[in-house]
Amino acid sequence: MRIVIVGGVAAGMSAATRAKRQNPDAEVVVYERGGYISYGACGLPYVIGGEVENFEQLIARTPERMRGEGIHVRLGHDVTGVDSKAQTITVCENGGATRTEPYDRLLIATGVSPIRPDWARTDAAGVHVLRDIPDGQAIEASLKGAKRGIIVGGGYIGLELAEALHSRGLSVVLLERSPSVAGRILDPEYQQRVQGELEANDIDVRCGVTVEALTAKNGRVTGVQTDQGLLRGDVVMVAVGVRPNVGLAKSAGVKLGKTGAIRVDKHQQTNVPHIYAAGDNTESIQRVTRRHVHVPLGLTANRMGRVAGVNMAGGEAQFPGIVGSGIFKVFNLGVARTGLTQNEADALGLSAVSVDVTSTDHAGYYPDAAPIHVRLTSERGTGRLLGAQILGHPSSVKRIDVIAALLHSRGKVHDLAEVDLSYAPPFSSVWDVLLVAAGKASQAARLPKDDTSA
């Protein structure tokens, strides 16, 4: 049994280790076109910001260690084609000769690529995207002597980069085309709070601004031309979204879903026999809506990889789907969400109602109590939980996971109201803000649509 894996980060390496554990006799080979495997891309902004000392600390496993576990890793190997009938792949080694290699099972774990808009001068020095360790190293080198940074894009990577450049002493302008930052993550009221936190920390946030081109002198970026004028900057970070890397899958006849990512079944198997897909390039089922979605995040990639690894090696495992949880921090504000926002529920035509509760994250009399804002969204009439958003001190917003667990099992606000949550003054109030929100949501879910008294 020869198991071939394309891509050596979260999904690929999880699959490799699981496959080997499932079937120690299988030959497991990982082809990675870059120079690193098995690292936490999620930590890149924190190396740039200086909280984590260096990029090497993000690496969980090296090729040598994998060899010790009986897994062969081929760095600098770009897989350029798949012949699904012959069950072979074409591999190009370090830009040189190509060769074909056989497989019995193939995993496509090729991730996503940052979108690089078609602006003039994106090739200038000082213009960056952030996806992998070499991108991080290039940003690090660019920051030497830089005084002013421009971030294009107000999604979570743009926001984390804004904080990172600020920590490095740069003055930072953040440009966002839509009316607010975190637009695809939170409802508008909560987006405003995130923007407020950025502004309170001297980030110059400009929303409703469209970038038209970059400007450069002697091959080095000098600024950004927008529909509202020219902005000067020494470094420009482009964080305007990602696209799944599906070229290889398409060439093998693998079907994509409507999201543009790879469609798989519960076993991570594609429509082509013996070909699996996992990670950021692959769709998931959103358990709240039972729809296919493309949400490229770390735990999903690792879990999909495990499932694919077990199945490719002859075992049985199923991917349970996701509920759409995400968390990040901007300066002193933790931001967490799970399920659907009110806006997302409305767009899907669901009859949803949201309640908001603001409280303190622990007993008000205990030192350092900080505000916490919870929005709970549920289905009108049934009280089924649809989602939640939480903003507060970074140490307090992980309580979103209580809601994620209930969403996973299609729980109701009534279930949340009855959960025996832990309590002591340094951690929460006796009636935690989640329980207060659940009580309020139970009432709101019972009210007719035009009654806003909740």
Among 3, 4, 5, 12, which residue interacts with ligand FAD (rule: CB under 6 A)? 12
Whole-number minimum distance, CB 406 to ligand FAD, in Å?
20
Q: Whose Cβ is closer to ligand FAD: residue 302's or residue 442's? A: 302
Residue among 7, 126, 233, 334 that touches ligand FAD (CB under 6 A): 7
Residues 226-255 that bind ligand FAD (CB under 6 A): 245, 248
Report the nearest approach of ligand FAD to the CB of residue 133 (Å): 9
Question: Least distance in Å: CB of 242 to ligand FAD?
Answer: 8
Candidates 29, 31, 306, 404; binder of ligand FAD (CB under 6 A) is: 31
How many residues lie near ligand FAD (CB under 6 A)?
34
Verify binding: residue 6, ligand FAD, rule CB under 6 A.
Answer: yes
**Amino acid identity for residue 453 in this structure:** S
Residue with tokens 């790879």: 262
User: Sheet holding 220-226: strands in order across?
Assistant: 211-217, 220-226, 229-232
The minimum distance between CB 161 and ligand FAD, in angstroms, equals 8
Out of 185, 275, 301, 317, the only residue in the binding site for ligand FAD (CB under 6 A) is 301
Per the structure block, which two tokens stand in for 384? Answer: 């089924």
> Which CB sits closer to ligand FAD, 220 or 292?
292
Is residue 373 a contact partner of residue 274, using CB atoms and an 8 Å limit?
Answer: no
Which residues ranging from 147 to 206 are in contact with ligand FAD (CB under 6 A)? 157
Q: How far is the CB of 7 from ligand FAD (least distance, A)?
A: 3
Contact 2, 102 (CB under 8 A): yes
Of the candidate residues 16, 28, 63, 111, the single one contacting ligand FAD (CB under 6 A): 111
Q: Could you say whether residue 61 binds ligand FAD (CB under 6 A)?
A: no
- Is 92 among the residues known to form the active site? no
Binding characters for ligand FAD, 383-422, by CB under 6 A (x = yes): ----------------------------------------
Q: Smallest Cα–Cα separation from 198: which of 228, 229, 179, 173?
A: 173
Interaction of residue 221 with ligand FAD, rule CB under 6 A? no
Catalytic residue among 1, 42, 138, 213: 42
Q: Which of 3, 28, 29, 109 binds ligand FAD (CB under 6 A)?
A: 109
Q: From residue 317 to residue 346, what is the string marking binding to ligand FAD with x (rule CB under 6 A)?
A: -----------x------------------
Nearest residue (CB) to ligand FAD, 39 versus 369: 39
Judged by CB under 6 A, the chain residues 124 through 143 that form the site for ligand FAD are 130-131
**Residue in 78, 93, 140, 212 binding ligand FAD, rule: CB under 6 A:** 78
C-alpha span between 307 and 302 (Å, rounded): 9
Q: Which residues pair with 371 in a beta bridge?
A: 360
Q: Per rule CB under 6 A, is residue 280 in the interface with ligand FAD?
A: yes
* Residues 451, 351: Cα–Cα separation, whole Å: 13
Indicate the residue type of 25: D
Q: Which residues belong to the active site?
A: 42
Q: Which residues bind ligand FAD (CB under 6 A)?
A: 6-12, 31-34, 41-42, 44-45, 78-79, 109-112, 130-131, 157, 245, 248, 279-280, 296-299, 301, 328
